[in-house]
Structures are given as C-alpha cells and as structure tokens.
Amino acid sequence: MDKIVIAGGKPLRGRIRISGAKNASLALLCATFLSRNEVVLENVPEISDVRVMIEIIKSLGATANWEKPETLRIKPPEEVSSGAPYQLVKQLRASNLLLGPILARFGRVRVALPGGCNIGIRPMDLHFKGLEGLGAELSLEHGCIRGRVKGRLKGARIYLDFPSVGATENIMMAACLAEGQTLIENAAKEPEIVDLANFLNILGAKVRGAGTDVIKIDGTPILEGGVRYPIIPDRIEAGTFMVASAATGGDVTLENLIPIHLQPLSAKLREANVEVLEGEDTLRVRADKPLRPIDIKTMPYPGFPTDMQSQLMAMLSVVPGTSMIVENIFENRFMVADELKRMGARIKVEGRIAVIEGVSSLQGTQVKATDLRAGAALIVAGLMASGETEICNAIYIDRGYHKLEEKLMSLGASIWRK
C-alpha cells in the first residue's frame, strides 16, 4: 500500500475537519518528559511521525496509550533509559527535541543524530549553542549526541543567529527547569512555538513572549503536570486543502482551524484570484474565476511557510503566465519540480529560484514523492491532472496527513491506495 492513485479532473466540494498539528504534537510529546505526572494530549493526529515519536518516548521509559481516537495519555518516566534507538530516531528529525527536556530533568541524555525528510541542511549548531549556553556539556560520539549537566541548568541570555523553530523549542523546554531567567533573542515566532509555551505554562512553567522574537523563561525546580491539553489545528494540512480546492476550481469549507495562522497563504491565494472567506474557526476557499500568476518568497513565520511552497508550485503549473518561487529556508525544497515536469509542467530551477510557466493542463503518470510536502504537491497535481496519477513513496505523505484519502473522498475526489 505504498502507492496512492488519483483519477483527476474533479473539483473538490464540501466540508472537512482539520486535524491537530503534526509539528506541535511532536514538540509536546517531547515536552511531557518535563512533567512529574501523567499528561493527556487531545487533538493528536494519528500519523506515522506521531506513532514513531510515541515509540521513541516509550523506548526511553515513558508509557503512552490512546485513551480514544486523537486523545493520548502519557506517563513520563521517573528515570530515563540509556538512549533512543537509532532505527527509530533516523526516521524523525523532531527526535532532537528530546535533548532539552531530558537534559533539564535528568541531567544526562543520549540521542542518535536524527533523520527525516531530505529537504536540505538542518544543522544542530543552534541547538548546541543554546543548551551549552545554559550550562550543558554536549558532544557527538559515534553518531550519537551525548549531553550532561552538573546539578541544574543555569538561565542565560541566548541569541539565535537564525530564528530556528527546533532550537527555540529545545532551549525553551530546557530553560523551564533551569535556575534563574533565560532570555531567547531572535526566537522563532511560529504558532507551534506559542502552543508549546501554553502547554509548558499549564504544566507550571513561567514562559512569556512566545510568538514574539524575545522569549523569557523563569526557571522552576519542578513541573508537576497532571493536565489535559488540546493541540492546535495543523495549519499546513489546512493550507494543503486550501490549495487543492483552489487548484481544482472547487469550493471547500475547512473547519477546526485558526484563520490567523493561515494569513500568509490566504493573502497569496487572494492575489491569485481565489476567494477566501474567514469565519471564527473556519475558512471557505472558492475558485470560480480564472487564476492569476503570483510570486512567492518563503520566510520564517509570519512570512510565507516553506512547507506550503511545493503545493503552490503544483497549482501554479497550470496558471497562465509566469510565476516565481524563491526558497529562503531549505535548499532542496525544489526536488518536486522534476516530478511535476513528468506530468507536463514547465518549471526551471536555478539555485533557490523556481520559475513556473503555466501550461494548459497536467497529464496523469507515475511520479515519486521525495519528501512529505512534495508528496502533498503531487496529490494536488494529481487532483488537477487528466487521467490517473500514481504516486509512489506514499509513506512520506503518511508522515503528516491524518486520514488524507478519507477526507479527499468526502470532497468528491477519486483516490485510492494500491
């Protein structure tokens, strides 16, 4: 069942519910190690990345059980085991988020260097800089990151050279149990950062400023836990369905989302002549007019998200005129262009710039997902294309989309596993 097949050419219409955020879920699962007591997470997407992270935290001594669909009960360990196994860690980049909370609570950590999608260089230097700034001793030995701290971590002023989401999260979690105040400057501002801060504060932490470029954390010796917490909706899943609706000339209403999180994408879709109507926790995307070419530059939040440019590339491949995408975050995010060209797209890539000349239509053929968001882009392309599109390596798509085929079928798509 590693292939997804789509018979394209059908506009999407109807209503769907957006699942919990993948990236927020992974960070919160790591953050549970800071708690002394059981934690219940709600709105957890049942996707492969979450399942892998659950296996990782269980290998470290935690217990985790599904209370009901999308509700996960986690009991952190009283003592952490020696280290997460490589065969699990290599599947998931976010496993590096265990460094901060485990170091802070247990004083030592060993985690294999993480894996994940091959979308470019994502160095650990900012994670190391921040944790070492708090007093940790870190080293890389035989493919594993080892860390230890004598006593408690110490609060510090830490400036990030780039507003890295992962580094911000790791430092913020570690600082919750440090002595004194920690100041993170040039911090990432993504909604997932705010969600993590809200969760930490419910555990008993003292985090202020999340969502701005300066985050202050006043350390505390213990976080008791014993709480329930609902995870925010997934803005990238929502964005993918928004683009799919626009690309197919559809009319889709998305429920259970936070419209302000989608503003960068909503603005670009409106620029492309798509109607986007905002409700309190809904968005309606209707495309009943000819689409216009647009230019996109990916930037850290609140700029246009790198996780959405592949899907936009697929849509723009059939928009008359010339569109351009500048990728400022990950240097390998244009690998999907070659697969789209197999379907008839005209895309020229030079370094971090992709120029898209719109064609009249795409033709279904066999293509290959090279990463999670490239897979989502090929789903969008398949929904637009004439004939059948067969997407190999669907395992990438399963990493980030909960019940994707079921949701698309409810909107009128013809899609199945093979």
- Tell me which residues are annotated as active site: 117
Cβ within 8 Å of residue 216, ≥6 positions away: 181, 182, 183, 207, 208, 209
Beta strand ranges found along 219-376 (DSSP E): 227-230, 251-255, 275-278, 282-286, 295-297, 322-326, 346-350, 353-357, 366-368
- Alpha carbons 327 and 305: distance in angstroms, whole number: 10
- Alpha carbons 96 and 145: distance in angstroms, whole number: 9
- Alpha carbons 293 and 355: distance in angstroms, whole number: 11
**Does residue 397 contact residue 391 with C-beta atoms inside 8 Å?**
yes
- Alpha carbons 229 and 241: distance in angstroms, whole number: 26
- Range list of H helices, 343-399: 372-384, 395-398
- Cβ neighbour number for residue 274 with a 10 Å cutoff: 23
- Alpha carbons 181 and 134: distance in angstroms, whole number: 10
**Does residue 175 contact residue 158 with C-beta atoms inside 8 Å?**
no
Structure tokens at 274: 């798509």
> CA–CA distance from 72 to each of 58, 171, 172, 320 (Å)?
13, 25, 23, 46
- Cβ neighbour number for residue 53 with a 10 Å cutoff: 28
Cβ within 8 Å of residue 191, ≥6 positions away: 21, 24, 211, 232, 235, 258, 261, 301
Kindly report whether the peptide bond that precedes residue 191 is cis, defined as omega within 30 degrees of 0. no
- Alpha carbons 324 and 14: distance in angstroms, whole number: 31
